[in-house]
A and B are shown apart, each in its own frame.
Chain A
């Protein structure tokens, strides 16, 4: 019997379950390594060389280099782990979250001040597959 995953139909949302976790194991472990200051320094000095020390897929490495967090999540990343990349870059959590929405930093910040995104939100038609 397949696992019941009722959470899969929510638009613009990827739930980090055991399948995603397996896919993203090394990507997320790389993120954890950034909790040590010397590792942050080595990553900042040569991102590609540091990433090559991890058995991540090339796609995962490219997504990290491009700071494409939506792609990282698709490839098994989890936002609590990916936050360590933002911390290393000196970015706030709000800047990181905003970067995934297709809005500018200011637009996202203003949306939050205005009360946030409604739970009835659906993605614009062009983004639907």
Chain B
């Protein structure tokens, strides 16, 4: 049967992708960011999964205001890299896993979470930057990817608790798939940032680090944090962090198994407008 072996959490700042694409990774400003992913690049080589279930938010790329799905699962065989306004990033196309995606969709919808099925979508920096951070520059991504888009752009957005419970449903779904597959679940986006208005540039290191502590030790309690606390304490775009709770909810301990092993934790300010947070947990 398929199983979730690990979860990865990371910010997905667009400027990180630009720094890689434009060859700026050795500049002192960026070196400090990428230093936090050196361990991760070795780790992913030693622990390459068959499939990554990648939770991210679409940044007004595949979904305009015409349609705003709360949770959308990619069931396509492949996904093109989006042109977000400066041309597509020069990274490989993303290969999907339509069979596992369809299986997860069926199982999760029957567990009462209404997913939108997406057979065609271009993927933006929310998805490609985490791949670049973990895998570096490459001709082809070393695993298949099931993109899972969460609406954190237009309110109402899903609560942390709903995301956490959805993660539990995803774990059940993966474990009911017959083929032997090593699956990782990645929760991306976030750490404190605000991209808009006179309050732009907000960073709350203490709050972010408490989030990382609780993500490991008290995920269910963390899932109860209200939207307004994210906005007040982590900035208006800090709400992206609810997506990390989907990945955390899919870990074994939430279903009565052993607590995950913390393999790596990293935090740095700034990358462009935001704090960068990163964690790797193994089941």
Q: Residues of A with Cβ closer than 8 Å to B?
A: 6-7, 10-18, 21, 24-25, 28-29, 31-32, 34-37, 40, 69-70, 73, 78-81, 83-88, 90, 92-94, 96-98, 100-102, 108, 111-113, 115-119, 121, 123, 127
Specify which of B66, B196, B270 lies most central, judged by the most chain A CB atoms within 10 Å of its CB. Answer: B196
Whether B203 pairs with A117 at a CB distance below 8 angstroms is yes
Contact of B85 among A7, A14, A40, A78 (CB under 8 A): A40
Q: Is the interface of A mostly helix, strand, loop or mixed?
A: helix
Tell me the bound Cα distance from A94 to B195 in angstroms: 8
Task: Please name all residues of chain B whose beta carbon is closer than 8 Å to the beta carbon of A70 when the two chains form the complex.
Answer: 197-198
Q: Considering only CB atoms and an 8 Å cut-off, how many residues of chain B contact the other chain? A: 49
Whether A11 pairs with B60 at a CB distance below 8 angstroms is no
Extra contacts besides A17-B155, A97-B194 (18): CB < 8 Å:
A6-B228, A7-B228, A11-B198, A12-B198, A13-B236, A18-B156, A21-B154, A28-B64, A29-B65, A90-B86, A92-B272, A93-B272, A100-B196, A115-B203, A116-B269, A117-B200, A117-B201, A119-B232
Whether A113 pairs with B83 at a CB distance below 8 angstroms is no
B117 within 8 A of A: no
Task: Please name all residues of chain B whose beta carbon is closer than 8 Å to the beta carbon of A6 when the two chains form the complex.
Answer: 226-228
Task: Please name all residues of chain B whose beta carbon is closer than 8 Å to the beta carbon of A15 when the two chains form the complex.
Answer: 155, 231, 236
Contact of A100 among B65, B198, B203 (CB under 8 A): B198
B257 within 8 A of A: no
Task: Please name all residues of chain B whose beta carbon is closer than 8 Å to the beta carbon of A36 when the two chains form the complex.
Answer: 83
Whether B201 pairs with A7 at a CB distance below 8 angstroms is no
Tell me the bound Cα distance from A13 to B234 in angstroms: 12
Contact of A101 among B153, B200, B275 (CB under 8 A): B200
Task: Please name all residues of chain B whose beta carbon is closer than 8 Å to the beta carbon of A31 when the two chains form the complex.
Answer: 60
Whether A78 pairs with B15 at a CB distance below 8 angstroms is no
Specify which of A10, A70, A87 lies most central, judged by the most chain B CB atoms within 10 Å of its CB. Answer: A10
Whether A108 pairs with B198 at a CB distance below 8 angstroms is no
Contact of A121 among B14, B85, B202 (CB under 8 A): B202
- A67 CB, min distance to chain B CBs, angstroms: 14
